[in-house]
Structure 1
């Protein structure tokens, strides 16, 4: 089904069609000598097919350079006179950390495909005349996973220092590999543990005074095939925070409680002798004995060893973790002098808040907000622990929450663009982007138009969506190969048919969802999503001033004929099944695939079934009920006290929302998973009733329950602050403090 426009680019890269703008920066790429003549490996292929045959990595590099490679680069330069407004253009593959005069400044870039790779522009401000140096701590992970486009043997960096007149200041580079880091992989080959040996790490390496005699000169990366674009999103930030509690025990061990789950690093200073050690255990929770559960239920084992050098030394890990608790076991004679946590996340200035006399509502909003904060890194990661990958389906929920919490749409548009780039692998799109892991989930591909609709709702910028609208049309064409005569899909076999995850939260969905090939026949959810995608694209066509691309009357009729059961008034899971799951009814209601007269029994069924589903599907359930005016049911479900709800997460000690309704409801539950953040948009838009229009207006329609005595919600979008407050029985709405209605 691939057209010439949609085939993979040269050497397996993404096609130039993915981005029509001209590449913005074409620097000289440098690398270490071992990588200068490498032939990069093509990682791109459909999940169920083998990739191109490439020279084996082992034939090109020795084992010590293929994985977990840390390289320190010094860039020296001379300023004849004091300079103001210096700017550094900088990128690296896989990752860099920048130090100027020994102080940490920034890290990046956001991961991307080689044909659409990102660079950063970093202001360095004013510098005095004289000799200066900045340092780059480069990293090549070498794993095939959801985090980086690594394992492809691309390891290089590029940088230019520009003065206020945009003239280049010459840089003199040298580098040295450090073997201070060691450890095995954790998660789904997500990251390496960092057993750090301070004796092997050159202290002060990025300062101008450091003696770099014997360091090597980098070589040109002769294979460099990147197209560079200025990173469209802001750079990562974070806070240096003190733990909420530090307890020292008689045996010398130390237990640390950060106070809430964070994404970041545990940083330490200690005094001791060379060879002394500190064992470090991190985890999201405590076990039954009160010890840190470092062998985490999410399939990460955070146990590392720090080896000290003589005197006072510091530990600041390179990679980040998701954790709340830590335990230290200092060796005899080791004195821990300092403990702090460096968090890491995409910028989230305070803009959206909820306070209420119903504290559970406030707490639920808080744990979802925290998960979105720490789950938005250089993309919308599904979790900051096991996978660290940007999944399309997860992103629909996370992006909706993140836009409302921050008022920004840059990350959403970048997400839309990166999934559009995956059409070079399959016009039907991948489930993860970017990253070297090739994974395809049909349900997620069919949710792609939801991302476009979200962007339009909060920006009103239809023109920006035109290339992605075309991508979405191509996605539909890919799935159309599985259409039968009546327009329904049968056995979409090239991608995983998910329905819901984990399997035990599918409400006994009655269809064979085997992998890699789904069962034969026609089932409900994939068709509801297919018709919903077409319906969403028809709506986007109207705002783009285009003719609606899809005739839906006949296929929607075929959908009801195949799955609607007149005797119950509900929809079944497949043509041949009489079982009616929550999943087979929620999408039909969400996308409006039923006649109005048919909706009442479906609504009643969904209200009774509640959250007989995974946490992501709750987003569609709550919004479907809200759109039918069932606000009491929405509120009741939000605060339901069963094992399937956010109140259960609170009971189990959540400070960020979980991957499942409870810790034991999935075999590898992560305790920070923003795909469970549906309460953010539901509380702000359906309970508070702050409905923002694409044109820039706001339709206030609060539905705050009578039993809630006090409620306040605020949202900052497009530079304006929208607030809704209920107090003393009255509800008031305001824009930038100007009241819109005395009583609502």
Structure 2
């Protein structure tokens, strides 16, 4: 069965690759979803729960005429049980619509009034034939004069093509399972424009949003065209936050590692060099958005239109904007008090990582001189970061040149990007663990990555599954959302929306770091599998690649024994990284001597690890 599935996946992937330049009309699909629950509120008034929020509207079909108007309410949030919140606040969606009459035997789509902000300006437009849509889970019908049994009502969901069947995850921690499921649904549901957009408030692609969206999407589906279209969009449509711009190279690099298609790197290589912002570099290899080199000419070369904003250091989101009138829970927003100085740690950590990846990209393209160029620049920048920003007395990083403050962000980013000298890893991670989740849902991506990279799997797992307070993914579920929120709670971002894929860090981190399944070589020809399952007693995962599906299963038989079953598809091989504390290792019942890396051929492999 699995061979048939993998063969079908290869055919579908090839077809989608050929279609990657088609317009949204061809890329978007419509799913019709039956109600999970229909409850009579009173005569003529019914409450309908479709189970999960999707972007769309409702379609109603009746076998009887109603020559009177019907009132429809659609929304994401409940005010009380069986009643949609008509004034949900923030950018949580609600719409009322009236249907003048209902004609029998004719499927009727309920029309909605569009929101101006997300259908004008820089917002990604939907094809006209789709009409106005909103994210909603619930529907109420009022003034229904015919029997409820006479009608069929469905959630008409718009989304990008998505294969639900080729990815899965379950474990001994049901909280983690619920969060993974919510995040996977977010990826499918927020694909409704054919681009990675920031949510329903603006419907605009932003680099930081898109990168996390991409990593999560690639973890659950082998559909790559939406990322390609979004990456291409950013070449000529950058956004102004400095660290957002510095995600562009990351997106193109990730795409090549998953797809093996070199053409986007060839086509946009010179643009990617510009997007590193190395033109802003000073003599010691550090960059600043306050550099005199940030001229109007450079701004235009970066892709900004005339009269648009110049780049600006934001450092996580939201900033402490004095003119918003927001009553934030903490004055600095989600920055952990980050002191934004002219030459700061967060921006330069991103810059170093850009240089490191550009050296790899140059290598992929056989540009040997550029490989040396970027490696040398990365080494200089790394040295300056650690000479200037690493407080060797404290053992962790300050926020920037001239600052005396140390934030979570100034430390989690150097950790995630492999900047921390070995002798300071312990003090940096100890400091990070004193800060908790003092970053946004976006910043959590890098916090979790750094922790898993440096043997803090249990702490990272505890952050993912935390149920205390409101700064966690469980709070999103408890609030009633079926998609990831833009922020932990409305009190941290008073205009948040309930459909933001940059909040899906657990989805890709569970796949890529907790289970440790990611491409080791471009095009996923060789997979790396490095599990760090902390206190889970069992888990299984299915991970799609362009070459087929990897299936993995884990069971902890005792404190001294772990069992893995890993099924590798025919078109790739894998390297399994053995835990450092392993005592004895068996591969397919044969003892393996003195090896930290197990080579797995296609087919089923059984790995037994004794401690």
Q: Give the alignment's TM-score, normalised by structure 2.
A: 0.74
CA shift, 1:645, in A, is 1.7
Give the aligned partner of residue 214 of structure 1.
none
Equivalent-residue separation in structure 1 for 2:66 and 2:228 (angstroms):
51
Give the aligned partner of residue 3 of structure 2.
none
1:473 to 273, 290, 293: 273
CA shift, 1:444, in A, is 1.0
Q: Does 1:442 align with 2:242?
A: yes
CA shift, 1:254, in A, is 1.8
User: Contact 1:700–1:733 at 8 Å: present in 2 too?
Assistant: no
SS at match of 2:27: coil
Give the aligned partner of residue 529 of structure 1.
350
User: Contact 2:30–2:159 at 8 Å: present in 1 too?
Assistant: yes
Stretches of structure 1 lacking an aligned partner (at least 5 in a row): 1-118, 122-228, 423-429, 432-439, 512-519
Give the aligned partner of residue 604 of structure 2.
739
Cα 1:345–1:524 shift into 2, 3 Å: same
User: Contact 1:261–1:656 at 8 Å: present in 2 too?
Assistant: yes
Aligned residue pairs total 492
Give the aligned partner of residue 487 of structure 1.
285
Q: Does 1:571 align with 2:436?
A: no
**Match runs of 1:449-598 below 5 Å:** 449-476=249-276, 479-492=277-290, 494-503=310-319, 504-511=333-340, 521-546=342-367, 547-548=370-371, 549-550=373-374, 551-598=377-424
Q: Does 1:235 align with 2:27?
A: yes
Cα 1:234–1:617 shift into 2, 3 Å: farther
User: Contact 1:452–1:468 at 8 Å: present in 2 too?
Assistant: no
SS at match of 1:743: strand
User: Contact 2:55–2:192 at 8 Å: present in 1 too?
Assistant: no
2:547 to 713, 719, 733: 719
Cα 1:273–1:360 shift into 2, 3 Å: closer
Residues 161-189 of structure 1: per-residue CA shift (max 9 Å, x gap): xxxxxxxxxxxxxxxxxxxxxxxxxxxxx
Give the aligned partner of residue 126 of structure 1.
none
2:234 to 390, 401, 419: 419
Higher helix share: 2
**Match runs of 1:3-402 below 5 Å:** 230-231=22-23, 235-269=27-61, 276-288=68-80, 291-299=83-91, 302-309=94-101, 311-312=103-104, 314-317=108-111, 318-330=131-143, 337-349=151-163, 350-402=165-217
Q: Give the alignment's TM-score, normalised by structure 1.
A: 0.62
2:509 to 674, 682, 697: 682
CA shift, 1:284, in A, is 1.1
SS at match of 2:386: helix
SS at match of 2:135: strand
Equivalent-residue separation in structure 2 for 1:120 and 1:711 (angstroms):
36
Cα 1:490–1:727 shift into 2, 3 Å: closer
User: Contact 1:298–1:385 at 8 Å: present in 2 too?
Assistant: no
Give the aligned partner of residue 453 of structure 2.
627
Give the aligned partner of residue 297 of structure 2.
none
User: Contact 1:354–1:362 at 8 Å: present in 2 too?
Assistant: yes
User: Contact 2:76–2:137 at 8 Å: present in 1 too?
Assistant: yes
CA shift, 1:233, in A, is 10
- What RMSD in Å do the two structures reach over aligned CA positions? 2.7
User: Contact 1:352–1:713 at 8 Å: present in 2 too?
Assistant: yes
Equivalent-residue separation in structure 1 for 2:526 and 2:383 (angstroms):
36
SS at match of 2:223: coil
CA shift, 1:297, in A, is 3.0
CA shift, 1:338, in A, is 2.8
Give the aligned partner of residue 86 of structure 1.
none
Q: Does 1:603 align with 2:603?
A: no
Cα 1:636–1:563 shift into 2, 3 Å: same
Cα 1:486–1:653 shift into 2, 3 Å: same
Cα 1:627–1:462 shift into 2, 3 Å: farther
Higher Cα Rg: structure 1 or 2?
Answer: 1
Equivalent-residue separation in structure 2 for 1:383 and 1:298 (angstroms):
15
Residues 521-545 of structure 1: per-residue CA shift (max 9 Å, x gap): 3222222222221222122112222
CA shift, 1:616, in A, is 1.0
Equivalent-residue separation in structure 1 for 2:25 and 2:529 (angstroms):
30
Give the aligned partner of residue 612 of structure 1.
438
